[in-house]
Amino acid sequence: MNALIVASAYVWTQIVIPGAMVVQAFGLNDKGQTAVSTSDGRNGIYQNGTFTPLPAPPPGFQVGAIGINNAGVIVGSAFNPNEQGFILVGSSYRFFSRPGWDTTEPRAISNSELVTGTGDNGAGNLAGFIFDPSTGVFTDATPPLRGRSAGRRALPRAGRPAAAGGQKSSYRSRIRG
């Protein structure tokens, strides 16, 4: 199929947040909602010209949204002081981190609420993961890699991992919140 025909099916929408520039926009869902961060430090969801800030996190936490599924469940990174993940349903934050790893960086959440992301073990090794919040289990999506080249892959709509290669192992998570 001709690339111009395919491209003509898409519409460019500029994201405008009064008083700030959009620094990043991630995780567009089927409802047109996307997670955005602004130059003045605000994070939230943008849809149809409206920016809705994230609810205030618990004291001591800083949060940034990275993805949103069709049900409006938001995933992102939280800092207190290390990077960990969060899942936000309504105004309730649920924090999680991969045991034995210094950082847990979620990148996307599927409609079945599986979370994909990367982790850093503190020795310069990164690995992609799939996290199932209903069971608290982390599964490797890529083998650990040295440097910043670990796979950061999203989930297809069916909620199955897009990257299931590599060494398979599972970990129980620490869930707080």
Chain segment 84-123, per-residue pLDDT in tens? 999 999 999 999 999 988 999 999 999 999 999 999 888 8
SS3 146: strand
Q: What is the rounded distance in angstroms from the CA atom of residue 146 to the CA atom of residue 150?
A: 8
Domain that holds residue 64: 13-176
What pLDDT was estimated at residue 6? Answer: 61
**4 found inside a domain:** no
Task: Quote the pTM value.
Answer: 0.77
**6 found inside a domain:** no
**1 found inside a domain:** no
**167 found inside a domain:** yes
**8 found inside a domain:** no
Asked which of 6-10, 21-25, 128-132, 158-162 is least confident by mean pLDDT, the reply is: 158-162
**140 found inside a domain:** yes
Residues contacting 35, CB < 8 A, separation 6+ = 25, 26, 27, 43, 44, 45, 65, 66, 67, 68, 74, 76
Q: Quote the number of domains for the chain.
A: 1
